[in-house]
Each structure stands twice: as C-alpha cells, then as structure tokens.
Amino acid sequence: MNLPLLLEPPAIRLATELLPQHTTALARLARLSCCSAVPVVTVVGKFNHGKSRLLNELSACDAFAVADRRQTTQLAEITAGNIQWLDAPGLDADTLGEDDALARHACHVAADLRLFVHSAKEGELDHAERALLQALAREHADCGRPVFIVLSQIDQMADADALARIQALLASQLPGLPVFPVSSVRHAKGVQDGKRLLVEASGIPALQAAIAAACAQIEPLRTREFDGLRTRLGAALQDIVDQRRAAVQQLDAELATARQAFITGLDAVLLKAADEVAVLQPVPDDAPADLPSSQFSSGRSLRSKIITGHLLASAKINLSLSSYLGAHGVHALPPDPSRAPTTMDTVLVAVLGISVKFLDDLRRLFCSNEGPERLRREFLHYFDVSQERVQRLQQRALPQRELERASDAQSGLASLPAPGSLQ
Ligand SMILES: Nc1nc2c(ncn2[C@@H]2O[C@H](COP(=O)(O)OP(=O)(O)OP(=O)(O)O)[C@@H](O)[C@H]2O)c(=O)[nH]1
Ligand SMILES: [Mg+2]
C-alpha cells in the first residue's frame, strides 16, 4: 500500500502553504474531517521488534509478513474485527528514506490509535525511539489521540525481574502512557494449544481489551482531536493574521505620516512663494521698455528692474518648489506611454513660466485661495504616484495578501466538516 492520494480541501492546502511546520497536523485534520467510520490502529517502532507478528495476533489473521530481518518496507493494511490495522515499515535511525515517511504518515496522519512497539530484550529506548515516542506523547497530550506502549517479545526476558526493570524504566521515561507487556509467540502457542492461561499470560488479551475500549470511544475521541487540532491550527493562523495586520498598520501609519509631512512642507513652501509674490510691484504701463534710453532712462530702468524682479522671484520659487519635490521623491511625472518623459522641472517652468510676465497670474497662482489649492492638489497627486511612493505601497501589498490568505484559511478550517458528518 502506498500513501493514499486524498483530495485535500483547498483550505488545508492554503493553510499548509502558510504553516509548513504544521503540515502533518493539517493532513491529520483533513483526514479526520473525511475519515471512514472504522477505527484505524497503527503499529510503529523499530524494525524487527515484532510489529507485524503482533498485528497477526491482534487481528487474528495471518495477513502480515513476519521475518527475522528488516521485512515490512511498505504500508500493509487489513480490516478485521471492524478495525483497520496498519502495519508501518520499521523505523531505522540510519535511513531517513521513504520507509520512514510511510511510517510517519501511517502513525501521525492515518491512525486513531498508535501502538508503539519496543522489544523488551532491547532494554532502553534508543534516541530515535525516544524522539518518536515523545512526538506521539505530545500529540496525545495536545489532542487526546491515544498511544499505547507495547513491550514486545517478553518471552525473551531472562526473568520477571528483568522485565519489571525495563517496564519501570519506560514508565519513568514516559509517564502517563500505558505500557502493555506482550508475547506474540506465547499467544500464538496458547491459541494453537488451547491453553487459556498461556493466552492470558501473553498479555495480548489485556491489550485487545484496551484497544476495544479505545475503539468504542472512537467518535468522541476523533471529535476531541478534531476540535483540538482546529483550535491549535486556527490559533497559528491567527498569529499570522495578527503579525501581518500589525505590519500593514505600521506601513499605513508610515505612509500617512510621510504624506502629511509632504503636505505640511509643501504648504510652507507655497506660503513663502506667496510672500515673495506679494511684494512684487506691477510693471508700469507708462514706461515702455523699447524707447531710447536717453529719453526715458529712468522709466525704462524702473520697468526692467521690476520685470527682472519678477523673473528672479519666479526662478527662486521654481527652485524651492523643485528641490522640495525632489527631496520627497517627486522627480518626474509618472511614465505615460503616450508622451515623452516629463521632468518636474519642465512642469514647473510651464506652470510658473506663463505667469512670469503677468503679475496678476503669479498672484492668482500663489496669493489667491484657489491657486495654491490647485498647486497643492496637483503636487500631492504627483507625490502619490511617484516611484518611491508606489514602491512603498507595493511593500504593503505582500503582508496584506498574506493576511487575507490566512483569514481565508481560517474560515476554510472553521467550515471543515466534523468527523462522521460525511459518513
Ligand atoms: N520470541 C519472540 N519472537 C518474536 C515475537 N514477536 C516477533 N518475534 C520475532 O521477531 C522477528 C521480527 O518480527 P516481525 O514481526 O517481522 O518484526 P517487525 O517489527 O514487523 O519488523 P519489520 O517489518 O522489519 O519492521 C521475527 O522473527 C518474529 O518471529 C515474540 O513475541 N517473541
Ligand atoms: Mg513488519
């Protein structure tokens, strides 16, 4: 049997992209949402510790291959006694290949009840076993999914004391998980020879009774696990929503502050320009500039002085406005394919140039109510569409998008069908 190809609900796919560290928990949640009524019991543990043989005894079918070497390398399953029994490939600390992925899927995603098998004759758990068992124990503590420790091959122990020692060791290493000492060999022999006491002494009936009790509770167990997982994963998505919302709010605040600072500074520049224009004198009509200087020297020089004053004021205003705009990232008009690139200087000269010759225009532009209002509106628009500003808005789009995706995933998880509702 290979990994089952289940169609994942879109919310699970989305949540997995956002929470890759919770891929297995999300796969389990999806599985719980559409699982069949039959409870799934999986054996896991190191190879050669007697998992397949134990399943043969528990299921009363000789369906699983047993050998004195690394045997099970694919998932094997049968349904017997209204239980789906899954035989996972033995874990091997030395190989982290596909077998381990299959074993992990079988015990973390597919199983309702996990039997962690450890051969009593091996003594203490090794590092890989401890890590696996701790992961299983965490899942049990978080969401109530049961884990039984099965101490297998107890007939191989020298005496009862040796068995008691290893049992006590396991209980101290993993308090809270039930430990079942069993011997599949004794059980098989007891059944074959009709020896009830040997069957009892094999520990298998006690394990079967505990499995049956857990399976009788499968619906509330699955519901509890489903609710627990959904709450935990929903909280992880909420963290993303909160973080991205804070990032978006921070960027919004920065954008608003920068815009307000631009407006305030621009108003100051426009006010200063208004002051410059306010003191300019009108060009006198009675002193034409083109008459010979000998006759009208005083009038001509006054007129040209006034015009020069207008030009200077205009150039000064132009300079202060363009350097203010440049300092705020408004260097050019936004690109428009229909016309040649337009720099801000060109615009300023165009806007202010017309007015240079006519003081009335200059005054309308800077000293009226509407003129500065129009300039403010136009320059603010150029500020809003300037390259730097647009780039900052794009930076905001990324957390905003993630925020929306996390909210979508949250509502998707909230509307997943509960276990049993699709049967
Ligand atoms: N003495 C004794 N031998 C056992 C017992 N259970 C299993 N064995 C033997 O241990 C060896 C391995 O058993 P398997 O059930 O194939 O072990 P496994 O854990 O499934 O191994 P992999 O499939 O390789 O992961 C076989 O030779 C079994 O006959 C037991 O309770 N007592
Ligand atoms: Mg096996």
pLDDT for 255-266, tens place per residue? 999 999 999 999
Instruction: Say whether pLDDT at 88 is over 60.
Output: yes
The helix (H) or strand (E) run that includes residue 350 is helix 344-356
Question: What are residue 271's phi and psi, to 5 degrees?
Answer: -65, -40
Give the Cα separation of 51 and 58 in Å (integer).
Answer: 10
From ligand 1's centre to the CA of 184, what distance in Å?
9
Question: What are residue 113's phi and psi, to 5 degrees?
Answer: -130, 130
The SS3 assignment for 152 reads: strand
Burial of 293 (0-12, 13-18, 19+ CB in 10 A): exposed
- Is the separation of the CB atoms in 108 and 32 below 8 Å? no
* Structural domains of the chain in order of their starting residue, each with its CATH number: 36-216 (3.40.50.300), 244-407 (no CATH)
Q: What's the CA angle centered on 15, arms 10 and 17, to 5 degrees?
A: 100
Across the range 83-103, mean pLDDT stands at 73
The helix (H) or strand (E) run that includes residue 76 is strand 76-80
From ligand 1's centre to the CA of 115, what distance in Å?
15
Instruction: Say whether pLDDT at 93 is over 50.
Output: no
Strand order in the sheet with 76-80: 76-80, 83-87, 40-45, 113-119, 147-152, 179-181
CA distances to 161, 174, 279, 400 from 130, rounded to whole Å, are: 23, 9, 88, 42
34-48 burial, b at 16+ Cβ within 10 Å, e below that, comes to bbeeebbbbbbbbbb
- Output the six-digit token pair for 216: 């009788």
Across the range 160-185, mean pLDDT stands at 88
From ligand 1's centre to the CA of 212, what distance in Å?
23
- pLDDT tens track for 239-259: 999 999 999 999 999 999 999
Nearest residue (CA) to ligand 1, atom 2: 153
- Top-ranked range on mean pLDDT: pick from 128-132, 175-179, 234-238: 234-238
Nearest residue (CA) to ligand 1, atom 32: 153
Across the range 224-231, mean pLDDT stands at 95
To the nearest 10°, report the CA torsion of 240, 243, 244, 246: 150
- pLDDT tens track for 41-60: 999 999 899 999 999 999 99
Residue among 71, 85, 132 whose CB has most ligand 1 atoms within 8 A, to mutate: 71
From ligand 2's centre to the CA of 199, what distance in Å?
22
What pLDDT is stored for residue 300 in this prediction? 62
What pLDDT is stored for residue 314 in this prediction? 83
- Is the separation of the CB atoms in 74 and 1 below 8 Å? yes
Total residues found in the chain within this entry: 423
- Output the six-digit token pair for 104: 């992990």
Give the Cα separation of 360 and 67 in Å (integer).
Answer: 104
- pLDDT tens track for 373-417: 988 998 999 899 998 899 999 999 999 999 999 999 999 999 999
Residue among 48, 56, 85 whose CB has most ligand 1 atoms within 8 A, to mutate: 48
Instruction: Say whether pLDDT at 337 is over 70.
Output: no
Nearest residue (CA) to ligand 1, atom 21: 48
Nearest residue (CA) to ligand 1, atom 11: 68
Q: Which residue has the higher pLDDT, 112 or 123?
A: 112
pLDDT-derived band at 3, boundaries 50, 70, 90: very low
Nearest residue (CA) to ligand 1, atom 12: 48
Q: Which ligand is nearest to the CA of 153?
A: 1
Looking at every residue in the chain, the average pLDDT score rounds to 86
Burial of 374 (0-12, 13-18, 19+ CB in 10 A): middle
What pLDDT is stored for residue 311 in this prediction? 83
Give the Cα separation of 315 and 236 in Å (integer).
Answer: 59
What pLDDT is stored for residue 423 in this prediction? 63
Atom number, ligand 1, closest to the C-alpha of residue 69: 24
What pLDDT is stored for residue 307 in this prediction? 83
What pLDDT is stored for residue 422 in this prediction? 65
Instruction: Say whether pLDDT at 367 is over 80.
Output: yes
From ligand 1's centre to the CA of 48, what distance in Å?
5
Q: Which ligand is nearest to the CA of 53?
A: 1
Burial of 168 (0-12, 13-18, 19+ CB in 10 A): exposed
Residue among 53, 57, 59 whose CB has most ligand 1 atoms within 8 A, to mutate: 53
Q: Which positions ≥6 away from 276 have C-beta within 8 Å?
A: 313, 316, 317, 366
Strand partners, 148: 115
Give the Cα separation of 58 and 40 in Å (integer).
Answer: 13
Nearest residue (CA) to ligand 1, atom 30: 153
Q: Which amino acid is at 69?
A: R
Ligand 1 site, CB within 6 A: 47-53, 66-68, 70-72, 90, 152-153, 155-156, 183-185
Nearest residue (CA) to ligand 1, atom 9: 50
Give the Cα separation of 84 and 58 in Å (integer).
Answer: 11
What pLDDT is stored for residue 294 in this prediction? 46
Sign of the dihedral defined by the CA atoms of residues 169, 173, 175, 181, in that order = negative
The pLDDT > 70 percentage for the chain reads 85
